[in-house]
Amino acid sequence: ATKDVKTGAEGNSVETPYLLKTAAEFTSMLKNDPDGHYKLANDIDFAGSSISPLFTNTTPFNGTFDGAGFTISNFVVGEEGKASTISYKYYGLFGYIGTNGAIKNVKLDAFKLYTLRSSSTTFVGLVAGYNAGLVENVTVTNSLINLEVSSSSSSNTTDSSGNLTGYYVGGIVGYAESHKDLGIVEVRNCHNEANICVV
């Protein structure tokens, strides 16, 4: 019972999700309701669109997103030979997925992240830099992550308070947090064909 984006009850449950048809709907609706429920109605092409990662640890995505087997393509941050001039902590389409967030049944094609890490901890993944929820049945093709790090950048470790430091990079997600009660990481049935370069 998927409802149109202009009806009144959409987004309140998995059974009545927001139905996303365009890149503009994707970015504005998810940003305005990070706890909502969403489903793609067709392929979405971000070519020519300017978009930054949508969510952070202070505003994570805690809704559900069902790609329904459709493809999202041409999500680009930065440009070839020039990393993004904006320094994010969480790179990727969703940036940060919270403990209640779920991304599933979607194909990502021709994603390109030209990213820069200087001194702060950085998380880079095409779906999300940081995942504390569920990522399932995601396929990545024809994509690239290029992360530039400064000579002073440290490798992955933790500080004296147990906080992550360094840089974390993965084709699907950069860092997947294990569920404290279950001790498992919820990244399932995913296929990645992205090239990853750290320079």
Identify the pLDDT of residue 74: 95
DSSP secondary structure code for residue 58 in this structure: S
Identify the pLDDT of residue 128: 95
Identify the pLDDT of residue 111: 94
Helix (H) or strand (E) holding 168: strand 167-170
Identify the pLDDT of residue 5: 45
Return d(Cα 65, Cα 113) in angstroms, integer: 21
Q: pLDDT per position in the chain (199 positions), as tens?
A: 444 444 456 777 888 899 999 999 999 888 899 999 999 999 999 998 877 778 999 999 999 999 999 999 999 887 776 666 556 788 899 999 999 999 999 999 999 988 876 557 888 999 999 999 999 999 999 999 988 876 544 555 555 555 666 788 889 999 998 765 655 568 899 999 999 888 7
Helix (H) or strand (E) holding 28: helix 23-32
Identify the pLDDT of residue 191: 94
Identify the pLDDT of residue 2: 44
